[in-house]
Structure 1
Amino acid sequence: MDEETKDQPSRPARVGATTDLPHDRITVARFREAFPRARWSDRLNAWFVPGRTAEKRISRWLAEMEAEADRFADEKGRDAFAFDPIESRYLEATTATLQIQTPYSRTVVNEIREIPYARWDADRRLWTVPYRSFNELRKRWPTIEAAAERSEPEARQARRETIKGTQEDEASKARMKERRRKRYPVPADYAPPFDRAVGTHVGVVFFIGTDGELADPATISTFYFPAEDGEEYVWTSWRSGSLEELVTTWPARTPPNERELERGWWMPDLEELRVARRNAKSRRRARERNDKKECSR
């Protein structure tokens, strides 16, 4: 007789609401203070707030935030820009917003994220900044523009040519060669967990094993972090995490403390995981482009 099977109860969907916020840290900090249970979802590309009344609470909070803003702020910003505009090939003034498009630079990203109400437009691959934030943009613009110019392909190539054959060039090649070995020194008596996201001085990685080979203190101090006197280290192999693994990793509440930095590894915080997730997305897109090229041949 056939054995009857029972239907497994489906996992109920989480009750709550999502919201997209400007990228500036001040707004995000105030949001997390108002909604301590909120969590960022890379899958939804938005903040998720649990609870049946989440949508109403978010709407009320956003309304309060808008009420605090000067309703004439955009007009004032436009007047300020018209009186003393920023003239740059990286910035375009439109009717609604200021648009910034530069070569990729970590400095540029960090600076723009400090500007209130700045948003990343993924479809057009550019940042938009409302006129109300013009004063903050102007304050940060010299750093943004300088970083963008340094990131131009011609500027990168010129720097490589300048240091070619020098001690700096040799040191850079040695760092790249060491990085390609995908190994990392950890204390012999305090190994990190395997197969989970771990923060290190080379970024967020997943350790996969060790054969117990001792790490040379000079190599550690040259390429990784200052080796402690009397401490014994072993080489541990690592891999990059997939986007799925990184998205499901719960971040540490605080950045690494001094002792963890000296040890060489720690549990990654949200900012570190965001960087790792962006890198994982880039790797995925690159693989998808390569797959399309292969299929088209």
Structure 2
Amino acid sequence: MNDLVWLDGRILDTRNARIAPTDRGFLLSDGLFETIRISNCKTPHLTRHLKRLAEGCAVLGLPAPAPALLHKAVADLLEATALVDGSLRLTVTRGTGPRGVLPPHVPHPTILIQAAAPPPNIPSAVSLGIGRYQRDGASPLSRVKSLAFLPSILSRMEAVAAGLDDALLLGTTGAIAEASAANILFLNENSLYTPPLHDGALPGTSRARLLEKGLCHERSISPEDLRAITGAWLVNALSLTPVSGIDIHEMSLHPEKDHLLRMFLFSD
């Protein structure tokens, strides 16, 4: 029953769930979200997501929901939906407020958790282009999963309109930052690299696990560097997708490396 949601302490049918018209998340994108993988009725990396959520709340000056509350909310929703595999979307906004930019002195956050089954069609490989939108790695907001997602939305729309699957966003440094909804891994001489945070990459949970394990390393990759790149993958909390090409640069597929990465990321 994926038409159920957890909203501010209650499990409701989606048709009966209501968010106030004055909610700042709806009006001003004043909030954060996390996308969390469900595997065999469990959320194996929930603690990582809640840690990043709390760090993001600190950046926004937003009261972070208690981890115990969110753990119970996730467990209750998983039980109610009986979802075995899929994902959860956890959204936290600053809640309702008066007109204007300045938030209320004492915010009352809105918390929404939605469950979704796995997508029916997962591409075997994707083609990418370099988009025209940039990420500012020097901004604290580049480190949080903000609801303000328009650069990613427009990048994906423009890529699809050009006959591609997705776009890479550059950082203000001129180096590649990430794709519209995923970090990127580059293969060069059998070593894996991912853009550093100062180039605008979001600190993704799967990215962090790969770095901690030593399976990839941080390195700035400019569009000119793509000539030396032999393979690439998009990676986020839910998936690992090989890249078939970036603009005019064709990428080879690497089944053995792909299998190694999948086993590490998704075998739990």
TM range (shorter): under 0.3
Higher RCO (C-alpha under 8 Å, 6+ residues apart): 2
Q: Give 1 or 2: higher strand fraction.
A: 2
Larger radius of gyration: 1
